[in-house]
Each structure stands twice: as structure tokens, then as C-alpha cells.
């Protein structure tokens, strides 16, 4: 007998035995205890990034170019999508730029403990956060996070590994870019 038939036969036998135990005339283990109805909640399958501003479509090419970013040459999307975020990245002369948006809030960011050197910063009329991380000589970044009506937007600058030039101030560049981009970022 083929193994698929044996497996199907075994599954059918188990189901029949289980159903036989459900006969209302059979005494139950619980006796005459009241029954409880359990209702399953639907599993949320909606995309949590739905409705977010798309930085790849929302950042004007001329604004990127005016700030040292080639909007055509270096555009990339940073690999694997992160659930609940939309992001886009570009390569500058000596830095990498990422602009991200999410429904998460600045308060959630602060509470997460993910950032080690976080402090308040004001860009235009918005009070947000700045975080500078320096894990290694080749892993340095500065992120400006600004509140939006639906969460927050981040402008992240990290050192391009191919730079090889003099030490650069990533947070000064992130502040410069966040200020220049502010009119185009979601409110």
C-alpha cells in the first residue's frame, strides 16, 4: 500500500475516533460543567506600512542633487523590507543617505532602548531626536527622527565605506539634510 494511502488512512482513523468521543450521549470528563464558547480573533494580515509616505517617490530629485546626492546614480531601497516601515536610500559623495517613515512614534523610539546616544533636536518647527552611533570606524551613523501626524520620519546619514577621506561630521550632514528636506517630509 502506498505511504500516502497509509497516512490518509491513519488521519481518517484519528478523526473518526475524535468525533466518536463527541457523542452527546457519552459522559464527559467534565461531567455536567457549563460549556464555554471560545471565539477566535482574526489574524491581522494588513500591511502595517500601508498609507505611509513613500520616500522614494516623495523626495524631489533636484532637492537631493542640491544636497550632494545623485538621485539617479545611487538610488537603492536597502534590501529586505522592514515590516511597518517605508524607506529609500541614495549614495552621496562621501555618505549614504536613508529616508525612512513609520507609524511608530518618537516616544516609542525613546522607550525602545535601541539608541545609545539620543537627545532632542529642533529642525524647523519640529522637535525630534538625534542619535549618533559609532560601532566601528566603518560603521558610523547619525539619525534625525522627526514626528509626523502618523508616526515619524527619519533622515539617516552613515559613512560610506569607500570614502577614505578626512573625518566627517555625520550629524552636521544629517541636520543639514533634514533641514533642507523638511518642506518635502510628511507633516
Which pLDDT tens digit goes with each residue over 1-17? 443 333 333 333 333 33
Query: What is the share, in percent, of the chain residues with pLDDT greater than 90?
Result: 40
- Of 149, 169, 144, 150, give the one whose Cα is nearest residue 159: 169
Decide: 180 and 64 in contact? Cβ < 8 Å.
no
| Cβ partners under 8 Å of residue 168, min gap 6 | 94, 95, 159
Mean pLDDT score across all residues of the chain:
77
Decide: 84 and 102 in contact? Cβ < 8 Å.
yes
Q: What are the grid coordinates assigned to 124, written together?
A: 524647523
Stated pTM of the model = 0.70
- Of 111, 148, 150, 116, give the one whose Cα is nearest residue 130: 116
Query: What is the share, in percent, of the chain residues with pLDDT greater than 70?
Result: 66
pLDDT at site 129: 96
All domains of the chain in start order, with CATH? 55-184 (3.40.1000)
Sign for the pseudo-dihedral over CA of 133, 142, 145, 99: negative
Looking at per-residue confidence, does 101 or 160 come out higher? 101
Task: Give the number of residues written for the chain.
Answer: 187
How far is residue 146's CA from residue 23's CA, in Å, rounded to a whole number?
Answer: 62
The two beta strands, 126-136 and 95-102, are: unpaired
How far is residue 57's CA from residue 8's CA, in Å, rounded to a whole number?
Answer: 52
Decide: 149 and 186 in contact? Cβ < 8 Å.
yes
Q: Which whole number is the average pLDDT over 111-137?
A: 86
Amino acid at each position: 500500500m502506498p505511504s500516502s494511502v497509509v497516512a490518509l488512512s491513519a488521519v481518517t482513523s484519528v478523526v473518526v475516533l475524535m468525533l466518536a468521543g463527541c457523542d452527546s450521549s457519552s459522559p464527559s470528563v467534565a461531567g455536567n460543567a457549563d460549556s464555554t464558547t471560545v471565539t477566535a480573533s482574526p489574524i491581522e494580515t494588513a500591511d502595517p506600512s500601508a498609507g505611509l509616505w513613500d520616500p522614494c517617490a516623495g523626495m524631489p530629485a533636484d532637492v537631493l542633487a542640491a544636497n550632494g546626492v545623485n538621485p539617479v546614480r545611487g538610488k537603492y531601497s536597502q534590501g529586505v523590507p522592514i515590516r511597518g516601515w517605508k524607506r529609500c536610500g541614495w549614495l552621496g559623495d562621501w555618505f549614504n543617505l536613508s529616508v525612512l517613515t513609520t507609524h511608530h512614534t518618537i516616544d516609542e523610539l525613546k522607550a525602545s532602548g535601541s539608541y545609545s546616544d539620543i537627545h532632542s533636536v529642533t529642525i524647523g518647527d519640529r522637535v525630534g531626536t538625534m542619535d549618533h552611533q559609532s560601532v566601528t570606524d566603518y560603521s558610523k551613523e547619525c539619525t534625525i527622527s522627526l514626528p509626523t501626524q502618523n508616526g515619524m520620519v527619519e533622515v539617516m546619514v552613515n559613512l560610506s565605506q569607500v570614502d577614505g577621506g578626512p573625518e566627517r561630521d555625520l550629524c552636521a550632514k544629517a541636520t543639514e539634510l533634514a533641514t533642507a528636506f523638511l518642506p518635502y517630509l510628511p507633516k
